[in-house]
């Protein structure tokens, strides 16, 4: 499977290296013999940028579908013990990915899941919220929003990439890499039953409850 491994700052710096090497006259020899002293600036820059761009393009498409086995990952429980999604087999699980603690949309989504937590619990459904925030941020967020379920830190986007929710986003015409608000419903056997993409926070908890029959 494919995922995003090329960070934008690395790509940018690699492109600049190509320009700088040409400017200081290194176009004659860069570890390989260039056949033409008149090699264009575009070609040299592309030489250095190419590997990064190719990685980005080749890793930009990842497939995960309803009916697939949910990718496993580890996290710490409330007692600080390591556990994993695999160890939750036998119970249904809501995995909801969100961009950032304390933001309006994410706060609305968390509030609703917290409000309905007992309803999920009665149906033997566990909830896991996942975002790029660290443990300290999650602890403060849980306290402020009275969240009774786990929030999983994904600071290096490892889990987000496994679930294909990390990638290009656009806000007010500016493109950047980030986590898309997405929810996965996982059954007792670890199979993805339903994927909610481009989630609207308001009313989402009720939407998920209706989907779990």
Task: Give the pLDDT score at 24.
Answer: 41
pLDDT band at 34 (very low <50, low <70, confident <90, very high): very low
172 vs 9, higher pLDDT = 172
Q: Is the pLDDT of residue 20 over 80?
A: no
Number of other residues whose CB lies within 10 A of the CB of residue 208: 22
* pLDDT, average across residues 147-168: 96
Sorting pLDDT into bands at 50, 70 and 90, what band is 170?
confident
Catalytic residue ranges: 106
Mean pLDDT for the stretch of residues 121-130: 96
Full set of structural domains in the chain with CATH = 8-58 (no CATH), 74-211 (3.40.30.10)
| Cα–Cα distances in angstroms (integers) from residue 148 to residues 141, 151, 157, 187, 210, in the given order | 11, 9, 24, 21, 21
Mean pLDDT of 108-131: 97
Q: What is the mean pLDDT of the chain?
A: 80
**Greater model confidence, 123 or 40:** 123
Q: For 165-190, b where at least 16 C-beta lie within 10 A, e where not — what string?
A: bbbeeeeeeeeeebbbbbbbbbeeeb
Specify the pLDDT at position 159: 97
pLDDT exceeds 90 at position 151: yes
Is pLDDT at 149 greater than 50 in this prediction?
yes
- Percentage of residues in the chain with pLDDT exceeding 90? 63
């Amino acid at each position: 499977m494919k995922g995003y491994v090329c960070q934008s700052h690395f790509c940018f710096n690699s492109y600049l290296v190509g320009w700088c090497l040409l400017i200081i006259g290194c176009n004659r020899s860069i570890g390989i013999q260039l056949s033409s002293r008149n090699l264009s600036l575009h070609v040299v820059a592309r030489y250095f940028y190419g590997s990064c761009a190719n990685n980005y393009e080749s890793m930009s498409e990842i497939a995960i579908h309803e009916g697939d086995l949910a990718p496993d990952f580890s996290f710490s429980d409330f007692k600080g013990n390591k556990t994993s999604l695999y160890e939750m087999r036998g119970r249904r699980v809501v995995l909801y990915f969100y961009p950032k603690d304390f933001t309006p949309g994410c706060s609305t989504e968390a509030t609703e899941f917290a409000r309905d937590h007992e309803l999920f619990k009665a149906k033997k459904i566990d909830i896991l919220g996942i975002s790029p925030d660290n443990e300290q941020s999650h602890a403060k967020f849980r306290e402020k929003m009275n969240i009774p379920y786990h929030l999983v830190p994904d600071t290096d986007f490892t889990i987000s990439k496994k679930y294909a929710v990390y990638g290009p986003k656009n806000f007010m015409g500016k493109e950047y890499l980030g986590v898309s608000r997405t929810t996965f419903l996982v059954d007792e056997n670890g199979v993805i039953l339903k994927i909610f993409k481009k989630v609207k926070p308001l009313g989402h908890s009720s939407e998920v409850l209706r989907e779990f029959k």
